[in-house]
Structure 1
């Protein structure tokens, strides 16, 4: 099962079609990776212990599938079988969480906002691992 994060929330500067462009922010790859690591380490221990067989990657850009709009930009992607839908099967390939650096850099106006958006994106994708859908995440204020 494939779960995708939505593009930046409505009304966020730099969102396609909102009439503005975000200034963007610079952060080198090592600093960005560290921000992702920090976000993962901030996950409560009780949840982190259940977060197994998941590989987390940072990639520069999302490559849309052939059936998707070529302009699709995602901040993150969960690719796997949520915990709520898993059967106990030995030797499963790891699920994947991918955080896309380029869109996050472009949508944020400063470093503080970028670190916050990285955290929100990591939490969003980890939540998909636990079977929490976008609607529930939005209702909880993580969308």
Structure 2
């Protein structure tokens, strides 16, 4: 499945717009980025390097931020286009997978680990 860059970015924006307002209001010092492919450093973060890296959260989860948190670069959630294109067979499946990826990475921002998120379908 292939999407143009604009279609992919739009699907990521739609996924973010679908996040309940109370969670969007809690987002602080985090940026959302789109990239074609993960680089070597990003791929090294994977538990199973044989799979595809659909998204990545890099930063300090809000559950670990203390009163000393400040003056730091923003956290970044990156959603990768190429891996999504390789694992999805239709536009609808890709939109659903992008939404799932965005929610999964936001889950990390809120302090949830992979086991917790995977057990809940994210």
One fold, TM greater than 0.5? yes
Distance 1:123 1:66 in 2: 19
Aligned pairs, how many?
118
After superposing on structure 2, the runs of 4+ consecutive aligned residues of structure 1 that deviate more than 4 Å are 69-72
Are 1:133 and 2:109 counterparts?
Answer: no
Q: Tell me, yes or no, if the aligned pair for 1:124 and 1:137 is still in contact at 8 Å.
A: yes
Residue 132 of structure 1 aligns to a residue whose secondary structure is coil
- Structure 1: tracts of 5 or more residues without a match: 1-24
TM-score by length of 2: 0.89
Q: Tell me, yes or no, if the aligned pair for 1:64 and 1:72 is still in contact at 8 Å.
A: no
**Residues 27-106 of structure 1 mapped to structure 2, 5 A cutoff:** 27-65=3-41, 68=44, 73-88=52-67, 89-106=69-86
TM-score by length of 1: 0.77
- Note the aligned Cα RMSD (angstroms): 1.9
